[in-house]
Amino acid sequence: MTSTINWRHLLLWAVFLGGLALMPQFVTRGTLRTFIFANYLAIFAMSWDVLSGRTGYVSFGHPFLIGIGAYTSAILSYRFHVPVGWSIPIAVATTMIGGTLFFLPALRIRGSYFALVTLAFMELMYQLVQVIRPDLTGGTRGISGVQTLLRGAVNNYYLSLGLMGVIAILLWSMMRTRLGTALSAIGMNEEAVEGSGLNTTKLKLFAFMVGAAVAGIGGAFYVHYLGSIAPRALFDVNFLFTIIVAALLGGASTIIGPMLGAFFLTFLLEYLRPLLPGAERYFIYGLIALLLYMYEPRGLYELFHRGRARIFGGRA
Amino acid sequence: MTFILELEHVVKRFGGLVATNDMTFAVYKGESLGLIGPNGAGKTTIFSLIMGEHKVDSGSIRLHGEELTGLPTHKRIRRGIARTYQVPRPFADMDVLANIEVGLMPDSLIEMLVSPFDHAEGRAIARSVGLAEADLHRDPAELSMGDLRKLELARTLATRPEVMLLDEVFAGLTSGEIAQISGLLKEKRQDGLTYVIVSHDLRSLEPLIDRAIAMTQGTFVCAGSYQEVMNDKAVRMAYLGH
């Protein structure tokens, strides 16, 4: 846990992001679009992990935050013709403020109660966008024709990759500070953190606001990639569980873990599509996630870590 | 001599059970006070009330004359009071040094983000409680109970308390480990630490304390030197039934 930044860490990041940067040279446009989704899923999974993976406050309401970011930017740019350069920052601020207003009371409760309350937020948002001001939200049909930022798979791939890379490096840097250690400590024993003289409510709120900001950024950019938004796709339990499973499968409480999990899940679902075109695919990924979680609760990252230790020696 | 910690008419009820019944006592600066009583006497509840882990129903708890009862736990710790627990509660996935460094953290988000880890201070505290350099990068799961107690003490000392509440620090220790922890407490006292200690191991407690307070069923029984308290009729009745 004690942190020293060394060249090996930076080299690994450079190799990882550099490898992804070369991807358009080797894969088809269709595969590239799958990568784009994986990049956005990685952003959502990292944002979920900041609060839930670190502190153990498992949120089932993450699409609620992504939805605030996505809808705010979509409404501002489509209905009010606000330039995207403004609508996205406003959407991020709205996600942080709106999310905090809802989640702040919930941060005082723990465990399954917290999870259930946050799940209720997602359902609330799903109902609200359909009935409150459908002239703005588009009701059940949502909004289509939202301005896209860039055209073409390659450009959008680099945009999503850059966004994911910047967010990952910023979060990684933050988690290597004392603050990151304190957040992880909350996940292990919140009373002992409070007993060390730290205000855990303040720490959780900070983690939540960072997570909300990242979710807002992801949601806003994602809607300007898709060019449309619909409540059924966003506030969907499958979408929620894909985010959570990506973080847990890859390795919660790490940065690289949720990214690995997002790529693994996205491509698993994609390759299962020809075999199982319906929702049955989710059973398969659920089964794989369950088996992996039973075998190694710390996820793919830990497997990778142990494999590296076995090959190069050292502590796993 | 001045009081550093004062409890006045403190009452705590859990439903129909009166866990702390009108407790009043004070601790002098630099004193080592033993809180004794049979199981269920309410000793640990007193610690939890002082730390704000339970709210008092009525009464006053003051540190340096300042009221603590309205403050959350972390603010009480910043005022200079800290406690250990009967069962050590380390951060399981952090090594020993990182555990201690949590106690050294400032309670400011900005400072936590920009100020570096204080490894030297963490190491110094670890050494002061007798943890070996080789232990610093071990996981808590690899430590003996004695070393876990030392880790708990180190993390608590890292918050720089003036008063420490020590809850059953000898539980589960070998006689050698008890001697080590006792020696450590004597050293810390010479450095000016005030402490209140709860232990069922009365023989180990005796040489460590200046004064003892006996309680049973949440109620004050008597106070005085260790011998005076142990010879008190009511205390003998509570402990031995005769």
Tell me how close the Cα of A212 comes to any Cα of chain B, in angstroms: 17
**Largest pairwise CA distance in chain A:** 62
Question: Does B136 share its domain with B197?
Answer: no
A228-252: pLDDT as tens digits: 999 988 888 889 989 999 999 999 8
Tell me how close the Cα of B97 comes to any Cα of chain A, in angstroms: 8
Question: Does B165 share its domain with B152?
Answer: no
Name the residue range of residue A52's domain: 28-235
Question: Does B35 share its domain with B61?
Answer: yes
- A179 touches B: beta carbon within 8 Å: yes
Name the residue range of residue B128's domain: 94-159
Spatial contact of A47 and A215, defined as CB atoms under 8 Å apart: yes
Please provide the average confidence, as pLDDT, over all residues in chain A. 90
- A73 touches B: beta carbon within 8 Å: no
In a domain, A99, yes or no: yes
Interchain contact, B102 vs A182, CB within 8 Å: yes
Domain end (from B159, B181, B206): B159
A124-140: pLDDT as tens digits: 888 888 888 889 999 98
Residue among A181, A182, A195 minimizing CB distance to B73? A195
Q: Which residues of A touch B103 (CB under 8 A)?
A: 196-197
B107-152: pLDDT as tens digits: 999 999 999 888 999 999 999 898 999 999 999 999 999 999 999 9
In a domain, B88, yes or no: no
In a domain, B86, yes or no: no
Domain end (from B120, B139, B159): B159
Domain end (from B138, B159, B180): B159
Q: Which amino acid, A76?
A: L
Please provide the average confidence, as pLDDT, over all residues in chain B. 93
- A199 touches B: beta carbon within 8 Å: yes
In a domain, B50, yes or no: yes
Provide the domain count of chain A: 1
B218-235: pLDDT as tens digits: 999 999 999 999 999 988
- Provide the pLDDT for residue A313: 66
Residue among A1, A3, A192 minimizing CB distance to B89? A192
Spatial contact of A69 and A217, defined as CB atoms under 8 Å apart: yes
Which pair of structure tokens corresponds to residue B68?
């603590």
Question: Does B8 share its domain with B47?
Answer: yes
In a domain, A282, yes or no: no
- Provide the pLDDT for residue A65: 94
A183-222: pLDDT as tens digits: 999 999 999 999 999 999 999 999 999 999 999 999 999 9
In a domain, A225, yes or no: yes
Judged against a pLDDT cut of 80, whether residue B67 lies above it is answered with: yes
Provide the domain count of chain B: 2
CATH number at residue B17: 3.40.50.300
Q: Which residues of B touch A174 (CB under 8 A)?
A: 113
Tell me how close the Cα of A258 comes to any Cα of chain B, in angstroms: 19
**Residues B119-126: contacts with CB within 8 Å, 24+ apart?**
B119/A2, B121/B158, B122/B97, B122/B158, B123/B97, B125/B100, B125/B154, B125/B157, B125/B158, B126/B96, B126/B97, B126/B100, B126/B154
Question: Does B154 share its domain with B136?
Answer: yes
B10-32: pLDDT as tens digits: 999 999 899 999 999 999 999 99
B170-184: pLDDT as tens digits: 988 888 889 988 999
Residue among B83, B90, B95 minimizing CB distance to A2? B95
Tell me how close the Cα of A185 comes to any Cα of chain B, in angstroms: 6
Name the band, by pLDDT with cuts 50, 70 and 90, for residue A1.
Answer: very low
